[in-house]
């Protein structure tokens, strides 16, 4: 590291930047060379890239025009716009943005304005200072891209931008001539490596503000897929075609069987003959869950601990594993319907830790309400009749439900992602005509049949299963894992019945792909079968998840946790700031120490070492005449003792290098001292030779 | 093949400078046999932006050296034979009235050339000499109130014959000081002389010389030489040398401040063409005799008068 800092060319370059008087005046006059502008152009292209698809095309066109104009001016001496034209363009640009976006702030309008100003400043690059401003705006645009895209995929672009930005700064500060690309890249690499520890310290310790800083509201709020507070036939089918990730789960300790993975979302209790809806918020949330609603974990029944990372979906369900015992969401609460709800819709990625037992039955806040028996008047009469008939034959409620499931299993019911359209009595239509449907059809029909037999029932929507990522051992739950099932009130408990499991047991045990091969989520038919591709996709997802978890999710809570693990109890913002200052100072002190080591050595030190060598040679070969230069003396010694020639010449050359060709660093001098220290004068090789005779 | 040396002090640039110097040496070495040190000194002198005085008897190849140096460096060349009846106008040129336009027009003299060989400079009167010496110093010629810049690089090689001083005007010390270096060529060795006798006419061979560098490349080299690293230790050494010439009882006249500057500049050029990133004491020693020899006046009767005074200085001053 000391060596790196010591490199002479680096010192040269910083020197150029530092000199306040003459050098900066010199730099002020330096016009932009074509090479410098080419570097700038490259940087601008990388920085603006992520915005190109989002800002209006005329902004990009203006930027391209300005780049061509500026490059043309540098190469073919085109005239650049004068002061007044530039002022007019600036005004026009600002108005254009306001006119086009109806505002001047916000992500899109803001980045459009920034890019326009970048384009205009580019027309005004006559000095090092101008170029630095362009580069700084480009950095800003580059990091504004972070507001749009924060995934791992953006890292290469960001890294390229950082490297190019540094390169462009280096090249821009050289009035005399550009560095060769190799030189420039070496120097950039060194600068960035040296900046890395500071950047890391600042990332970890710079006081974090609570609240979404990066998470600007998603533009328009549309386009988000996910569960909602109602379900009609076809809704989940639609969802199942989406490959989007809904959330990821990492179990610490044992993970449940796939068939046990029921992620509980909205509880749909109101039925209007076709559509299922949740109860109004006031009804659901006015009723807190019982403290002992879940059966106490029996010995041998594992409690699963997990961390769940939800993608933003503008909904409030936190989707715990059924049945939740504990959750660490401060603003989350469990409603009487056993829905775990956050206070606000999830407008950014969110992670929480929870514990659950995987049971399909639990007590609710209170006995079922009339709404759980509602059949929506005389809707679906044939289904109701069928239910009454079946119930008459059954010995008990449980036996009845078993019979219904057996009916689904043994008669000609099909599980499909392409269900035929249903008429005005959808459940009747489904049970007696089409007999083909997706999970919501079965859940809906089962709930209706249960209600018709006098049993309180409701539909629960959520996700079932998920794909385990073997690369990093976590589960990915996609929209295609969306699912609906039924709960029936029996013996003072809500019991989960999943009729889909009766029709397509593979769906529950192995997921949608197994149940409907070639139909579900097959977005990449060509590559879908390739094991290698699958593995790559999983690795990529694992990388993204790690990035989210350790980098993007790093907020005030994680920061506090880190400081607490370092022994600072419940750190305040002040403590964080202090820790940050201390660490950054420490890094700088270490740098300074290295810098001292690579700083100039005591001038006489090199000579002392040389004298030591001369004394040693004087004893065994011949003394150095005072007027002999090092190279002359080495040549003379080599004449007398050809066997020592190469070594002594090398040492003399080293001495000349340290003493006469540069300002040596402490480290250089130490190395020279070691070289001289390890130099031994062996006895003359052959007694008969000239050298031997002289001795 | 014109080498293009742009930036400086980088490893590659140094390597190129050294290669170039080697090429110059080999090319000229084909014409002038066995005079490598002198050729290199002349090249270093040119790079340092100074002028060269060759003091030797006729027929040892002074003109040949000047011509081949100009040829190898791709520079224009003029020769001025100095005579006692020479006028300054014969050197710098004159304004001539033109009938057609009724104006005076400046007719450039032979001095408007990159390399000028001033042959037997001590034959001309001091007036003619001073015209040349002023041009050397100023790198321009002023005539009738008009200033005409001389081409760059501008390099004068003057020769004078140390013997046969009858009817000559030897250059005084003050004028000698304007030459960065003074060298002698001397007779070739036995073997080389034999080769010389057997070989072609040397003058014919001049046509075969190929330029190894162009004017821009030469300018870049000169910049590189100027920016070579000078350590404090080296400056100590140079000052010790200068101090010795001034304080020693052996000399009536020591090195002037300009002499000291010239010594450093010459050593820089020497270091550059030997590929040193900084100036070594050996570089100073290598050019010392050529730079200081003609500026030192040994005291009559002292040992310095008897033997080589430059060598006396070098052997008396320890290298730090």
Question: Per residue in A478-501, pLDDT tens?
Answer: 888 888 999 998 888 888 999 988
Residue A341, SS3 per DSSP: strand
* Residue A334 falls inside a structural domain: yes
| Segments of chain B assigned to CATH 1.10.8.80 | 228-316
Comparing A12 with A665, the larger pLDDT belongs to: A665
Answer whether B317 sits within 8 Å of A627, measured CB to CB: yes
Give A210's contacts (C-beta < 8 A, 6+ positions apart): A555, A556
Is A117 inside any structural domain? Answer: yes
Subunit contact A661:B232, Cβ cutoff 8 A:
no
Residue A332: inside a domain:
yes
**DSSP notation for A383-450:** HHHHHHHHHHH-SSHHHHHHHHHHHHHHSS-EE-SSPPP--SSHHHIIIIII-EE-HHHHHHHHHHHH
Strand boundaries in B171-271, DSSP class E? 181-183, 251-253
Q: Position of tokens 């960065």?
A: B180
Q: Hey, CA dihedral for A458, A462, A467, A469, is it positive or negative? A: negative
pLDDT at A28: 45
Q: Does A307 share its domain with A164? A: no
* CATH class of the domain comprising B11-221: alpha beta
Same domain (yes/no): A283, A406: yes
Within a domain: residue A100? yes
Q: CB–CB of B278 and A662 under 8 A?
A: yes
Q: Report residue B229: phi and psi, to 5°.
A: -70, 135
Q: Residue A660 is part of which domain span?
A: 603-694
Of A358-362, A508-512, B295-299, B302-306, the least confident: B302-306
What 3-state DSSP class applies to B165? coil
Instruction: Tell me which residue has tokens 């499991």.
Output: A501
- Please state which of the ranges A245-249, B163-167, B232-236, B289-293 shows the lowest mean pLDDT: B163-167
Asked if A661 lies within 8 A of B319 by C-beta distance, the reply is: no
Structure tokens at A68: 């061509």
Task: Choose between A149 and B119: higher pLDDT.
Answer: B119
Structure confidence by residue, pLDDT tens digits, A190-244:
889 888 888 888 888 887 766 554 444 444 334 456 788 888 877 777 777 777 8
A656 touches chain B (CB under 8 A): yes
Min Cα distance B1 → chain A (Å) is 23
Question: Do A430 and A234 form a contact (C-beta atoms < 8 A)?
Answer: no
Q: Which residue has the higher pLDDT, A511 or B211?
A: B211
Name the H helices within A19-149. Answer: 22-29, 34-52, 57-76, 83-101, 107-122, 128-144
- pLDDT computed for residue B284 by the predictor: 93
Report the distance separating Cα A190 and Cα B78, nearest Å. Answer: 53
Distance in angstroms (rounded) separating the CA atoms of residues A585 and A590? 9
Residue A464 within any structural domain of the chain: yes
How many Å lie between the alpha carbon of A630 and the closest alpha carbon of chain B? Answer: 8
Measuring CA to CA, how many Å separate B189 from each of B120, B182, B194? 25, 21, 9
- From the CA of B59, how many Å to the nearest CA of chain A? 34
The reply to whether residue B231 touches residue A656, judged by beta carbons under 8 angstroms, is no
Residue B315 and residue B309 in contact, taking contact as beta carbons nearer than 8 Å: no
* B284 vs B263: CA distance, rounded Å: 7
User: Of A487, A515, A543, which marks where a domain is finished?
Assistant: A515
Which stretches does DSSP call E strand in A403-559?
A: 414-415, 436-437, 457-464, 467-469, 474-478, 482-490, 493-497
Beta bridge partners of residue B229, listed in sequence order: B278
Distance from first CA to last CA of chain B, Å, rounded? 42
CA torsion, ordered A19, A23, A28, A34, to nearest 10 deg:
-110
How large is the average pLDDT for residues B117-122?
86
pLDDT in tens, B223-250: 888 878 888 889 989 999 999 988 888 8
Using the Cβ of B91 and the Cβ atoms of chain A, whether some distance falls under 8 Å is answered with no
Tell me, yes or no, whether A169 and A240 share the same domain. Answer: no
Closest-CA residue to A692 (of A635, A620, A636, A626): A620
Which residue has 């910083």 as its token pair? A14
Instruction: List B residues 182-241 in contact with A (Cβ-Cβ < 8 A).
Output: 229, 231-234
A109 touches A136 (CB < 8 A): no
Q: A256 with A372, same domain?
A: yes
Residue A689, pLDDT > 50, answer no
Q: Are residues A234 and A166 in the same domain?
A: no
Q: Select which of A130, A429, A481, A498 is catalytic.
A: A498
Length of chain A as a residue count: 695
Residue of chain B whose alpha carbon sits nearest to that of A635? B282
Concatenating the DSSP letter of every residue in A357-396 gives: E--SEE--SSSPPGGGT---TT-SHHHHHHHHHHHHH-SS
A370 within some domain: yes
Q: Does the CA dihedral A305-A307-A312-A314 come out positive or negative?
A: positive
- Which of A:605-624 have CB within 8 Å of B? 607
Domain boundary among A145, A174, A203: A174
Residues forming beta bridges with residue A352, ordered by sequence position: A308
How many domains are contained in chain A? 3
Domain end (from A454, A487, A515):
A515
Closest in A603, A626, A631 to B280, CB measured: A631
Numbered ranges of CATH 3.40.50.300 in chain B: 11-221
Percent of chain A scoring above 90 in pLDDT: 6
Average per-residue pLDDT for chain A:
80
Residue A10, domain member (yes or no): no
Q: How many CA atoms lie less than 13 Å away from A651 in the CB half-sphere?
A: 29
pLDDT digits (tens, 9 = 90+) for B25-41: 888 888 887 788 888 89
Asked: is B228-316 a CATH 3.50.50.60 domain? The reply is no
> Exposed/middle/buried for A33, CB within 10 Å: 0-12, 13-18, 19+?
middle
Query: In A641-695, where does DSSP find H-type helix?
Result: 642-656, 666-677, 690-694
DSSP string, B248-271: -TTEEE---HHHHHHHHHHHHHHH
Band the pLDDT of A20: cuts 50, 70, 90.
very low
Chain B (258-317) residues lying within 8 Å, Cβ to Cβ, of chain A: 276-282, 285, 314-317
Query: Would residue A572 count as lying in a domain?
Result: no
User: What are the DSSP E strand ranges found in B139-244?
Assistant: 140-143, 146-149, 155-160, 181-183
Q: How confident is the model at residue A287 (pLDDT cuts 50, 70, 90)?
A: low
Distinct helix (H) and strand (E) counts, chain B: 14, 11
Q: Provide the pLDDT for residue B83.
A: 86
Report the range out of A298-302, A437-441, B31-35, B266-270 with the highest average pLDDT: B266-270
Report the C-alpha gap between A305 and A259 in whole angstroms.
Answer: 17
Least confident window among A150-154, A398-402, A520-524: A520-524
Write down the H helix ranges in A516-602: 531-547, 556-565, 573-597
Rg of chain B over CA atoms, in angstroms? 20
**Contact status, residue A80 vs residue A70, Cβ threshold 8 Å:** yes
């Amino acid at each position: 590291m000391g060596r790196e800092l010591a490199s002479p060319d680096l010192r040269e370059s910083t020197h150029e930047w530092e000199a306040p008087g003459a050098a900066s005046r010199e730099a002020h006059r330096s016009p932009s060379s074509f090479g410098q502008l080419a570097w700038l152009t490259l940087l601008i292209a990388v920085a603006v890239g992520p915005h190109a698809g989002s800002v209006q095309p005329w902004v990009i066109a203006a930027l391209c025009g300005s780049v061509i104009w500026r490059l043309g001016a540098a190469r073919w001496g085109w005239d650049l716009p004068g002061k007044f034209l530039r002022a007019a363009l600036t005004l026009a640009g600002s108005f254009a943005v306001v006119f086009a976006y109806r505002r001047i702030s916000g992500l899109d309008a803001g980045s459009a304005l920034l890019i326009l100003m970048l384009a205009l400043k580019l027309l005004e690059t006559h000095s090092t200072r101008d170029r630095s401003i362009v580069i700084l705006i480009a950095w800003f645009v580059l990091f504004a891209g972070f507001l749009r895209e924060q995934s791992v995929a953006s890292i290469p672009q960001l890294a390229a931008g950082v490297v190019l930005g540094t390169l462009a700064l280096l090249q821009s500060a050289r009035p005399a001539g550009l560095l060769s690309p190799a030189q420039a890249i070496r120097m950039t690499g060194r600068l960035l490596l040296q900046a890395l520890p500071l950047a890391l310290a600042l990332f970890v310790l710079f006081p974090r503000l609570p609240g979404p800083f990066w998470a600007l509201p998603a533009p328009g709020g549309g386009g988000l897929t996910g569960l909602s507070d109602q379900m009609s036939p076809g809704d989940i089918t639609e969802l199942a075609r989406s490959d989007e990730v809904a959330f990821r789960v990492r179990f610490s300790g044992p993970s449940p069987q796939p068939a046990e993975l029921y992620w509980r979302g909205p509880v749909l209790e109101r039925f209007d003959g076709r559509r299922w809806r949740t109860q109004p918020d006031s009804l659901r949330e006015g009723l807190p869950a019982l403290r002992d609603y879940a059966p106490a974990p029996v010995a041998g029944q594992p409690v699963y601990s997990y961390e769940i990372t939800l993608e933003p979906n503008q909904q409030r369900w936190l989707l715990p594993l059924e049945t939740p015992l504990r959750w660490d969401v401060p603003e989350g609460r469990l409603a009487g319907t056993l829905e775990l709800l956050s206070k606000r819709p999830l407008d950014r990625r969110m992670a929480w830790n929870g514990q659950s037992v995987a049971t399909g039955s639990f007590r609710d806040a209170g006995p079922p309400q009339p709404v759980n028996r509602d059949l929506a008047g005389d809707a679906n009469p044939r289904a109701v009749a069928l239910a009454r008939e079946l119930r008459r034959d059954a010995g008990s409620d449980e036996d009845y439900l078993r019979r219904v499931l057996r009916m689904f299993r043994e008669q000609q019911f099909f599980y499909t992602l392409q269900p035929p359209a249903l008429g005005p009595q959808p459940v009747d239509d489904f049970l007696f005509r089409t007999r083909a449907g997706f999970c919501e059809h079965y859940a809906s029909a089962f709930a209706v049949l249960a209600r018709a037999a006098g049993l309180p029932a409701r539909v629960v929507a959520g996700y079932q299963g998920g794909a385990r990522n073997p690369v990093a051992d976590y589960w990915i739950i996609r929209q295609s894992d969306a699912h609906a099932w039924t709960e029936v009130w029996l013996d003072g408990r809500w019991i989960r019945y999943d009729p889909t499991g009766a029709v397509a047991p593979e769906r529950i045990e192995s997921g949608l792909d197994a149940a409907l091969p070639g139909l579900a989520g097959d977005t990449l038919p060509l590559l879908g079968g390739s094991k290698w591709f699958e593995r790559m996709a999983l690795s990529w997802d694992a990388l993204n998840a790690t990035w989210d978890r350790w980098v993007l999710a790093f907020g005030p809570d994680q920061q506090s946790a880190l400081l607490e693990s370092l022994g600072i109890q419940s750190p305040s913002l002040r403590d964080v700031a202090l820790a940050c200052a201390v660490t950054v100072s420490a890094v700088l002190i270490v740098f300074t120490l290295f810098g001292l080591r690579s700083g100039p050595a005591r001038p006489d030190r090199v000579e002392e070492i040389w004298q030591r060598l001369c004394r040693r040679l004087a004893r065994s070969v011949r003394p150095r005449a005072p007027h002999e230069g090092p190279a002359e003396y080495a040549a003379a010694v080599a004449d007398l003792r050809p066997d020592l020639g190469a070594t002594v010449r090398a040492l003399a050359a080293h001495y000349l290098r340290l003493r006469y060709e540069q300002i040596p660093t402490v480290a250089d001098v130490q190395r020279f001292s070691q070289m001289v220290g390890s130099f031994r004068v062996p006895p003359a090789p052959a007694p008969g030779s000239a050298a031997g005779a002289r001795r | 093949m014109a080498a293009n040396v742009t930036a400086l002090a980088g490893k590659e640039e140094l390597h190129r400078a050294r290669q170039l110097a080697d090429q110059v040496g080999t090319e000229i070495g084909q014409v002038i046999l066995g005079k490598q040190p002198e050729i290199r000194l002349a090249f270093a002198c040119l790079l340092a932006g100074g002028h060269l005085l060759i003091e030797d008897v006729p027929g040892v190849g002074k003109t040949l050296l000047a011509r081949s140096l100009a040829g190898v460096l791709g520079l224009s060349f003029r020769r001025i034979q100095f005579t006692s009846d020479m006028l300054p106008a014969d050197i710098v040129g004159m304004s001539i009235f033109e009938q057609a336009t009724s104006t005076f027009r400046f007719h450039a003299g032979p001095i408007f050339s990159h390399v000028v060989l001033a042959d037997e400079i001590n034959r001309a009167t001091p007036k003619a000499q001073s015209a040349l010496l002023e041009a050397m110093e100023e790198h321009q010629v002023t005539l009738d109130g008009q200033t005409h810049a001389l081409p760059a690089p501008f390099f004068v090689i003057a020769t004078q014959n140390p013997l046969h001083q009858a009817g000559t005007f030897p250059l005084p010390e003050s004028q000698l000081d304007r030459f960065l270096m003074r060298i002698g060529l001397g007779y070739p060795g036995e073997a080389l002389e034999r080769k010389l006798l057997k070989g072609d006419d040397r003058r014919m061979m001049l046509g075969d010389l190929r330029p190894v560098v162009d004017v821009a490349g030469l300018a870049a080299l000169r910049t590189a030489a100027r920016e070579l690293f000078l350590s404090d230790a080296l400056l100590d050494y140079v000052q010790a040398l200068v101090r010795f010439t001034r304080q020693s009882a052996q000399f009536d006249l020591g090195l002037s401040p300009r002499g000291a500057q010239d010594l450093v500049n010459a050593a820089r050029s020497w270091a550059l063409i030997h590929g040193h990133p900084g100036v070594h004491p050996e570089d100073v020693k290598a050019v010392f005799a050529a730079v200081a020899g003609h500026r030192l006046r040994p005291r009559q009767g002292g040992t310095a008068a008897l033997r080589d005074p430059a060598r006396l200085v070098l052997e008396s001053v320890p290298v730090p």
